Every structure is written in C-alpha cells, then in structure tokens.
Amino acid sequence: MENLVQFVCPRCKSELNLTAGSCSTCGLPMSVDSSGILTVAGAMFRDHDHAAAQKAFDEGRYDYYSHDEQVNIRFINDFTTPLLDRVFPRQDRSQVRILSVGCGVGIDIEMLIDMGYDAWGADCGSRCLFWPNRKYPNRLTRCMDDTLPFPNAHFDFVMAHQVLEHVGVVGDSMELAPDWKDRRQRFLSNLLQVTKPGGFLNVATPNRLFPIDPGHAPNFWGIRVHGPFDRFLTSYGDMNRYFNGHNVKALSPLGYYTGTSCATRGRVGKSFLAYQKILDRIPFLQASLFNPLANVLVQRSPQAL
C-alpha cells in the first residue's frame, strides 16, 4: 500500500526526507527499515516483556503475541468498528483517516485498512518487534508519546486505549514521575494537535474511581484493588479537565472487554456482562464511579489549539 502521509519532524514541524537519516532542519534522528517502518529518535520503550519478546523474535516465534492479537481482533470487531459506524455513518471509509496510538502488534491497523479506512499506527514497546510481519508495515511508526511525526490537523479519528496510564510514570511501572500531570496533558494535547478541528479522539483507561482494575499488577484474586486517590489511573473528572474546551462524551463499556481478562469468562464473566448492559442502558452512569472504564469520545473544538 502506498505511503500517503508526509511525515513531519515532531520537534520543528519540518517535512521529513525519509532517506536522510535525520531532520534536515533540527537534526532529530530518524530511520526507516527495509519494511518501511519509520523510527523517530531511536524510540524504544523497554517494557516488562521486552527481553522475552526479543528472544521469541530472534528465534522466529512470531506468534509470541498471538493472544494479544486475538484480543485486539475481538476489540476492533466488538467496540471500535461499531463506534466508527456511529461517528461516521455516511462517510466513505476511504476518506476517514485514523491513527491508533499504542497500537501494539498492529493488527488493528491491518483490519481497519482491509475494512477500507485510511489507518496508521504508532507505538514504541516490545510488540513493535513483530511489525515487519504485518501486512502493511509502512503504516506503522515507532515513536514516543512526545514525538508523533504527523502533520497538525491530519486525522479524522485518533484512538489511544490503555495508554494514558503509562504516560508520566517511571519506566514500566505504576510509580508516577514528578511531572506526570504535565506529561499527560502534553500527550493528550499532542493527540488533539494531529486531530482535525471537528474530528474525534477516543481515549480509554481504567476508571480511577472504580475500585477494581483488571489490567495492572494483580494483588487480589487476579485483579488489582485500588483506592480513589490512585493517580496512576484517570477519572471522568480528570478527562474533562484534560480536554477543557472540547466536547467530551462518556462511552458505554459494552463491547470493550471482550476476551481481555478472567472477568469476561465463566460465571463472573456473565455477571460482568450483565453489569455492562445495565450501564449501557443508563447513560448517566457511564461517566460515574460505577463505570470500570474511563472511556471518552472527544470532539476537537474548531476554536481550541
């Protein structure tokens, strides 16, 4: 598939020559591998799985993240595609440009392109090792949260799922860095910057006010129990403050958790699904402490930024 984005330097916003090895204006390093994958400023985040993933990659075990891939397939089918159909009901899919920040193994980009969307992905963790085996590797970019190499106002829809909580922490941990709040604000501002005025941004993270977090550091029966002042996570009130000046709408969690944890299987899974259906039918609860997920659809204001 042809590369249709003119990448720009995230530091000085000059157009990047992908064969130059660095930005000709400010010298920020970048490289493009034989698969067409752009890496900005040597981006590589050594997450907790990096050593094992590198070993699997070196041994040719390219199915190392097969579980992640299957979870992401279900997620795209059960949550993202229905959301896109609601947000862009009459628009030609080829005219909808999408960016997935934190796209992991990249199967979401592959699926969205095959559905007809103009989709792009960005990440920096160990899952990037497996990108050369993807169907459209030149649609994937290795970059950190502050080095997105895309032009301003370029995407109709930007999504970042389970990413925000990992911005502003020390390494791959839940320990907040001193500047965590500023870094998260800059990260979300950068996402808004590449979103078209009137375009949409979908950000989701476990809800800080809901006491159970199924996704991080289990400490009680395979889940993490936390208090409301655990700033590693984000609440709907936090989301409204981060996106002040833009239209923020809480979303139902229904369809979001398919296949992601033990909370979706067996008797507990059936109860959890029933609970999500209740939240889905009662919209005012979706932005409350009763929702396990802080999941928002933000429409960028034409006046802001």
Segment 161-184, tens digit of pLDDT:
999 999 999 999 999 999 999 999
Q: Indicate whether 56 pLDDT > 90.
A: yes
- Please give the pLDDT value at position 18: 87
| 2 pLDDT tier (thresholds 50, 70, 90) | low
Q: How many CA atoms lie within 13 A of 279 on its CB side?
A: 24
Provide the CATH number for the domain around residue 67. 3.40.50.150
pLDDT value of position 260: 62
Contact 139, 113 (CB under 8 A): yes
Q: How far apart are CA 24 and CA 10, in angstroms?
A: 13
192 assigned to some structural domain: yes
The angle formed by the CA atoms of residues 239, 245 and 246, to the nearest 5 degrees, is 65
Higher pLDDT, 2 or 6: 6
Residue 304 lies in a domain: no
Q: Tokens 């809800």 correspond to what residue?
A: 207
pLDDT band at 1 (very low <50, low <70, confident <90, very high): very low
Averaged pLDDT of the chain: 92
Q: Report whether 192 contacts 296 (CB < 8 A).
A: no
Contacts 24+ apart (CB under 8 A), 143-146: 143/10, 143/38, 143/39, 143/40, 143/41, 143/43, 144/40, 144/41, 144/43, 144/45, 145/101, 145/183, 145/186, 145/187, 145/190, 146/10, 146/183, 146/186, 146/187, 146/190
Could you tell me if residue 21 is inside a domain?
no
- Is residue 173 domain-resident? yes
CB-based contacts of 61, cutoff 8 Å, min separation 6: none
In a domain, 19, yes or no: no
Q: What percent of the chain is modeled with pLDDT above 90?
A: 81
**Boundaries of domain holding 232:** 37-299
In a domain, 24, yes or no: no
Asked if the structure places residue 8 within a domain, the reply is no
How does DSSP classify residue 104?
Answer: T
How many domains does the structure of the chain reveal?
A: 1
Identify whether 9 is part of a domain.
no
